[in-house]
Amino acid sequence: MLISDRWYAVLDSKEVPRGKPVGVRRLGESLVFWRDDKGEICVMLDRCPHRSSKLSIGRIVNGCIQCPFHGFEFATDGSCKLIPANGRAAKIPKVFQCNVYPTRESHGFIWIWHGKPRDEYPPIPWFTDLDGFEHATVRKEWDVDISRAVEGLLDVSHLPFVHPSTIGRDQRTLVNGPYTTLKDDVLRVWISNQPDEGLPAMKPSQLPPPEGEPTIEFRFPNLWRLRIADSVKAVNVVAPVDEGKCVIYLASYLKLPLPKVLTRLAAKISNVFNRYVLSEDYPVIKSQLPKVADLEIGERFIPADRPIAVYLQHRRNLIQVTDSASVRPGKLT
């Protein structure tokens, strides 16, 4: 079950070129992504209202998407503009209307509104500390539910065991805190792990008040940012496909005293390492049962799991606010 009434980043903008529809599953729906003559993005249910053929295997014609079966043409608002068998002069019945989804394109991603349509939509959620950075993005399909993937991104105690030769090689097994806050759908975590020297881990109340940017910032429902250094950060988008399946978009963000083209090249090179780190996470997270995470599935928590517990509790609260089971992702009819 997904959180409703939220913007979800679901595709890298580069995955939808001009002149060609792209069919993918996101948010539990088969969707078609395409661009009009101006390059504006449009997202529809990947189903022709005539005979249920997939629009994604059709063509872009006259700024419309053309059904491959009988040539029906649909505009970006979902309205049918042509039924060839009826003739261009014929009146088109309103029943031939495609489901169109509220969509935005921002920060290099395509976003879909999952929830009930509105007259006005909230701003796209994003991070405020990435101005002036150059980035490069890689993608990886996971047979993992979005809830489990996000848990993995918020897990601050697994590094020495899952990543012993990479990001956990310093063996900081002792987890102090972690100091964790939640405000306005933004979960922030300040990590202060250290090697175990025989003293118990400190509670958040024993730690000094955090200063500066958090190590991890998670913006509901599916955006994660890691601060590695002031000039090196990573962003993960966890795009839900179906229950038990997601696509991870990992973007390296760098701000270096180099020309932009060289900084982007450095970001691409760093993604080779990032893909390897993801490959270390995947088999462990995939092995977790049940596939969908929740507070009441028999798992036991330790203090180091505080960010995960906060995430799961807030996720549950948001799901309970709206009955997402009865709402398709921003469907307009």
The amino acid at residue 158 is H
> Residue 321 — pLDDT band, cuts 50, 70, 90?
confident
SS3 percent helix, strand, coil of the chain, rounded to 5, is 20, 35, 45
Asked whether 56 and 67 are in contact (CB, 8 A), the reply is no
CA–CA separation, 329 and 24 (whole Å): 14
At 307 the pLDDT is 98
Structure confidence at residue 249 (pLDDT): 98
Q: Which residues contact 34 (CB under 8 A, 6 or more apart)?
A: 16, 20, 21, 22, 41, 42, 44, 60, 65
What DSSP string runs through 231-287? Answer: TEEEEEEEEEEETTEEEEEEEEEE--SS-HHHHHHHHHHHHHHHHHHHHHHHHHHHT
Domain 7-114: give its CATH code: 2.102.10.10
Residues 172/194, Cβ–Cβ less than 8 Å: yes
Q: 328 pLDDT exceeds 80?
A: no
pLDDT tens readout for residues 72-105? 999 999 999 999 999 999 999 999 999 999 999 9
Task: Please state the domain extents for the chain.
Answer: 7-114, 134-321
Distance CA 279, CA 272 (A): 11
Task: Give the length of the chain.
Answer: 333
pLDDT tens digit string along 191-241? 999 999 999 999 999 999 998 999 999 999 999 999 999 999 999 999 999
Q: Decide: 16 and 125 in contact? Cβ < 8 Å.
A: no
Fold designation for 134-321: Naphthalene 1,2-dioxygenase Alpha Subunit; Chain A, domain 1 (3.90.380)
Q: At what angle do helices 260-286 and 146-154 cross, to 10 degrees?
A: 110
pLDDT in tens, 54-63: 999 999 999 9
Give the 3-state secondary structure of residue 333.
coil
How many CB atoms neighbour CB 129 within 10 A?
Answer: 14
Q: Which two tokens stand for residue 49?
A: 């209202």
pTM value is: 0.93
Tens-digit pLDDT profile for residues 106-162: 999 999 999 999 999 999 999 989 999 999 999 999 999 999 999 999 999 999 999
pLDDT in tens, 163-176: 999 999 999 999 99
Bridge partners for 306 per DSSP: none
**In 3-state terms, what secondary structure has residue 192?**
strand
Domains 7-114 and 134-321 share a fold: no
pLDDT value, residue 39: 94
Report the amino acid identity of residue 137. T
Cβ(295)–Cβ(319) under 8 Å? no
Is residue 310 within a helix (H) or strand (E), and if so which, with residue range? helix 306-321
Q: Quote the percentage of the chain above a pLDDT of 90.
A: 94
Instruction: Please answer whether residues 112 and 127 qualify as being in contact, where contact means their C-beta atoms are separated by less than 8 angstroms.
Output: no
- The whole-angstrom distance between residue 275's C-alpha and the CA centroid of its chain comes to 17
